[in-house]
Amino acid sequence: MSISQVFKEVEIIIDNNVKERIKNIQIEMKEIIGDKHLYIAFSGGMDSTVVALLAKDTLKKNRITLVNVCFGAYSYSKGLEAVLSVATQLGIRLFFVRGEEEQESIMYHGPNCNQCTRVVKIGKVKEFSYKGIIASGANKSDSWGNTGIKFLDGIYSPLINLNKDEIKEILDYYEFTIPKIGENNIREGCKYKHLLKMSVSNIYHSRADVIANEIIHDVLDFYDVKREIANVKIIGPLSKNVALINIKPLPDRKILTEILSILEREESIDFVDIVDKPLKLKILANPGIYNNDESKYWVLNGRLAPEFAMPISAEWIKSTNKKLWTFAVIDYEKLDK
């Protein structure tokens, strides 16, 4: 058997596995949804789009509603465009609900994407839905969605036992393309996840995060820069906003200089630097995180490392600030490679 024949056999096996996976989810979806209406917590990303594709293939479209929790300025403008584009391609009705005030309340106490997903995103969709079932894109890759429970308290997670590769295979089977922001090749979200400290002042801390993470993509898109990672992390003590430019791979110096120059003119940003070497972060942590090695490992390697352009390590400091519920990156040091 030739190499091309071997590859063809493998493709057939994978295709059959994907078809079987889809079939099993569809059978399960029919049983769980029954004659109720399905409200999909819809971000326009891969996970929620795959849920929508499966639902569209299983239920009548008039029994499906996409609900996007919009975070106002904390949502990427390109992200909102992507949500509208994907919903149009799917041909499923879409509603927006506001969630920025609730998100600000959470961020006042430090970065907490898990709580934002559980309380704000799912909570807002729950408020919107009426006598229906909510579907989320929770899967094996989510720290907040790895319980293995598919249906609980009116929330259905059809992808809960699938990993990212398996979900991507379903997306590819449907030959569906999702518009990307350019923030991260693997998972994209809102701008607020790049503010790595408490947001005590919306016109200072939040403003720096919002403006910096819109500017970086405006410039990179203008020069058509392809990237795996692109964000601006806002760190530092509460009295100082330090903007760390993360782009992987690094673009031409001219482009970096332009981004640097624009950010330096922003009044809410006190200092700007480019992440071009490995970093040692100084992280202030709530006692619950500080005293738990597993939690510290997850914050560093699960939450932070995937979104930095260079390798990172950490110096941990126990916080005495009772208003800090999670962690805050208060300083950094560049290390020699």
| Per-residue model confidence as pLDDT tens digits over 301-334 | 999 999 999 999 999 999 999 999 999 999 999 9
CB 82 within 8 A of CB 181: yes
266: Cα separation from own chain's centroid:
25
Determine the pLDDT at residue 143. 55
Give the number of other CB atoms < 10 A from CB of residue 88. Answer: 10
CB 181 within 8 A of CB 174: no
> Residue 303, SS3?
helix
- Is pLDDT above 80 for 93? yes
d(CA 131, CA 121): 18
Q: Which range has the worst mean pLDDT, 95-104, 138-147, 222-231?
A: 138-147
- Is pLDDT above 50 for 145? no
CATH superfamily for 3-173 is HUPs (3.40.50.620)
Determine the pLDDT at residue 66. 98
Determine the pLDDT at residue 2. 58
23 or 148, higher pLDDT:
23
| Per-residue model confidence as pLDDT tens digits over 31-62 | 999 999 999 999 999 999 999 999 999 999 99
119 or 292, higher pLDDT:
292
Determine the pLDDT at residue 6. 42
d(CA 90, CA 77): 20
Reference 263, options 245, 248, 246; nearest CA is 245
| Per-residue model confidence as pLDDT tens digits over 169-220 | 999 999 999 999 999 988 888 999 999 999 999 999 999 999 999 999 999 9
Q: How far is CA 149 from CA 125, 156, 157, 160, 294, in A?
A: 19, 9, 8, 7, 22
Here the tokens at position 189 are 């979200």
Q: Where in the chain is the domain with CATH 3.30.300.10?
A: 191-334
Q: Where in the chain is the domain with CATH 3.40.50.620?
A: 3-173
Reference 334, options 283, 249, 277; nearest CA is 277
- Is pLDDT above 50 for 248? yes
User: 191-334 has which fold?
Assistant: GMP Synthetase; Chain A, domain 3 (3.30.300)
Here the tokens at position 104 are 């600000």
Q: What is the pTM of this model?
A: 0.89
d(CA 218, CA 166): 32
Here the tokens at position 103 are 């998100």
d(CA 93, CA 63): 10
Name the most confidently modeled range: 10-24, 99-113, 196-210.
196-210
Share of the chain above pLDDT 70, in %: 93
Contacts of 23 (CB under 8 A, 6+ apart): none
Reference 64, options 158, 138, 144, 141; nearest CA is 158
| Per-residue model confidence as pLDDT tens digits over 250-263 | 999 999 999 999 99
Determine the pLDDT at residue 268. 99
